[in-house]
């Protein structure tokens, strides 16, 4: 069973632009109460740019597309599991609250008929993955599920060149909007080149071609990378030094599996005296705005 809120169901039925939003960044990516403010702000950004927001999560075992305000608060206060695709079945069967990652959000968005989704940074290939095999399920989901993901690249705590290589192997198209480089989440540049687009209408045209071509040539999703806003973006060398310290802490604490990303995000906040959180929030808002603009352009072309 999939519960779709009335507002979202009506928008889908009337072919209005809808933007999916994830809930892991609320429950496991940012501290309370900023996370609740952000959850509400992202929905407002989507609305103010002409689309309907659909924040996705599993509420008491029910996969839900379009969380209500009191549910956003419940997720922000903590206690929800972190659900990637493989965790959905257990959360449903056990009646649990679960915050969905990019992978799980994509699969529920697609099930509801939503094809545009905004997040912060996707999961990817972790540094040291040649030892740990830690590669986010977000990448495999992008290969099989038809959702356009708008992000600020992959989180900089990851191995960015390896993440791009992996996306190429999986056949996932990756573009920069207003940039010729893969953004590094907290910083605007990574030195890794991307094909650049400048116009959201062009993004929509390419995404539509991928959607329509899925039957014969191009199944799966697409990644649109938007650099973090210049005002809050952090210097690359400064971020890199903080990442090295955060990774060392994760190593000492022997963090493994799904807790790695939340641990590193919290450690980054400490290592940058909270600056990483301000950047994270600014880029999330920017991505929500961009996704709404693309969703509107997509609707005009359909
Ligand atoms: N982007 C953010 N904050 C987050 C995440 C992304 O700005 O907390 C989450 C996303 O939900 C992403 C997840 O799917 O981290 C990746 O986790 P993992 O590496 O364990 O797959
Ligand atoms: Mn992982």
Q: What is the arithmetic mean of pLDDT over 4-15?
A: 97
Mean pLDDT of the chain: 96
177 confidence band (pLDDT: 50, 70, 90): very high
Tens digit of each residue's pLDDT (9 = 90 or more) over 185-228: 999 999 999 999 999 999 999 999 999 886 666 679 999 999 99
Of all atoms in ligand 1, which is nearest to the CA of residue 283? 7
Residue 1: the pLDDT is: 87
CA of 25 to the centre of ligand 1 (A): 6
**Closest ligand to Cα 261:** 1
Tens digit of each residue's pLDDT (9 = 90 or more) over 220-278: 999 999 999 999 999 999 999 999 999 999 999 999 889 998 999 999 999 999 999 99
Q: Which of 87, 92, 81 is nearest to 23 (CA)?
A: 81
**Closest ligand to Cα 56:** 1
The b-or-e profile of 27-42 (16+ CB within 10 A means b, else e) is: bbbbeeebbbebbbeb
Annotated catalytic residues are 22, 155
CA of 266 to the centre of ligand 2 (A): 16
| pLDDT at 129 > cutoff 80 | yes
Residue 219: the pLDDT is: 79
Residue 301: the pLDDT is: 92
Which of 147, 261, 266, 278, when mutated, tests ligand 1's pocket best, judged by the most ligand atoms within 8 Å of its CB?
A: 261
Q: What residue ranges line ligand 1, CB within 6 angstroms?
A: 22, 24-25, 28-29, 84, 101-102, 119-121, 123, 136-138, 258, 261, 265, 280
The least confident of 29-38, 67-76, 120-129, 216-225 is 216-225
* 81 DSSP 8-state letter: E
| pLDDT at 117 > cutoff 90 | yes
145 confidence band (pLDDT: 50, 70, 90): very high
Of all atoms in ligand 1, which is nearest to the CA of residue 260? 20
Beta strand 52-59 pairing with 148-151: unpaired
Angstrom distance (rounded) from CA 240 to CA 236 = 6
CA of 262 to the centre of ligand 2 (A): 10
CA of 257 to the centre of ligand 2 (A): 5
CATH superfamily of domain region 3-301: Indigoidine synthase domain (3.40.1790.10)
Angstrom distance (rounded) from CA 4 to CA 7 = 8
Percent of the chain beyond pLDDT 70?
98
Q: Where are the domains of the chain?
A: 3-301
Q: What is the arithmetic mean of pLDDT over 154-166?
A: 95
Q: Cα–Cα distances in Å, from 83 out to 63, 127, 150, 239?
A: 11, 22, 20, 28
Which of 20, 75, 155, 232, when mutated, tests ligand 1's pocket best, judged by the most ligand atoms within 8 Å of its CB?
A: 155
Q: Which of 180, 195, 272, 265 is nearest to 227 (CA)?
A: 180
Give me the DSSP letters along 199-224: -HHHHHHHHHHHHHGGGTT--S-EEE
Residue 215: the pLDDT is: 64
* 43 DSSP 8-state letter: H
Residue 165: the pLDDT is: 97
**Closest ligand to Cα 149:** 1
The least confident of 110-124, 168-182, 186-200, 212-226 is 212-226
Percent of the chain beyond pLDDT 90?
94
Q: Cα–Cα distances in Å, from 195 out to 134, 175, 223, 267, 279?
A: 27, 5, 11, 32, 24
Tens digit of each residue's pLDDT (9 = 90 or more) over 22-49: 999 999 999 999 999 999 999 999 999 9
Residue 240: the pLDDT is: 94
């Amino acid at each position: 069973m999939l519960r779709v809120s009335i507002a979202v169901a009506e928008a889908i039925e009337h072919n209005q632009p809808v933007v999916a939003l994830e809930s892991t960044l609320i429950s496991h990516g940012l501290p309370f109460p900023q996370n609740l403010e952000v959850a509400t702000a992202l929905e407002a950004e989507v609305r103010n740019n002409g689309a309907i927001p659909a924040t996705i999560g599993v509420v008491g075992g029910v996969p839900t597309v379009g969380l209500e305000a009191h549910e956003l608060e419940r997720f922000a206060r903590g206690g929800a599991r972190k659900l990637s695709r493989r965790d959905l079945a257990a959360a449903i069967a056990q009646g649990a609250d679960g915050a969905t990652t990019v992978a799980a959000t994509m699969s529920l968005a697609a099930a509801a008929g939503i094809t545009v989704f905004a997040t912060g940074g996707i999961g990817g290939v972790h540094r040291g993955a040649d030892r740990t095999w830690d590669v986010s399920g977000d990448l495999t989901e992008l290969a099989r599920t038809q959702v356009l993901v708008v992000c600020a690249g992959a989180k900089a705590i990851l191995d960015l060149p390896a993440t791009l290589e992996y996306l190429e192997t999986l056949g996932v198209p990756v573009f920069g909007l207003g940039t010729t480089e893969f953004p590094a989440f907290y910083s605007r540049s990574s030195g890794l080149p991307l094909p650049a687009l400048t116009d959201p209408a062009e993004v929509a045209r390419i995404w539509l071609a991928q959607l329509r071509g899925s039957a014969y040539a191009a199944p799966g999703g697409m990644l649109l990378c938007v650099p973090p806003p210049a005002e809050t973006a952090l210097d690359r060398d400064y971020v890199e030094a903080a990442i090295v310290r955060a990774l060392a802490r994760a190593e000492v604490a022997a963090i493994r599996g799904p807790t790695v990303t939340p641990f590193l995000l919290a450690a980054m906040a400490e290592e940058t005296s909270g600056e990483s959180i301000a950047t994270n929030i600014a880029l999330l808002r920017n991505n929500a705005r961009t996704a709404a603009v693309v969703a509107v352009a997509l609707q005009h072309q359909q």
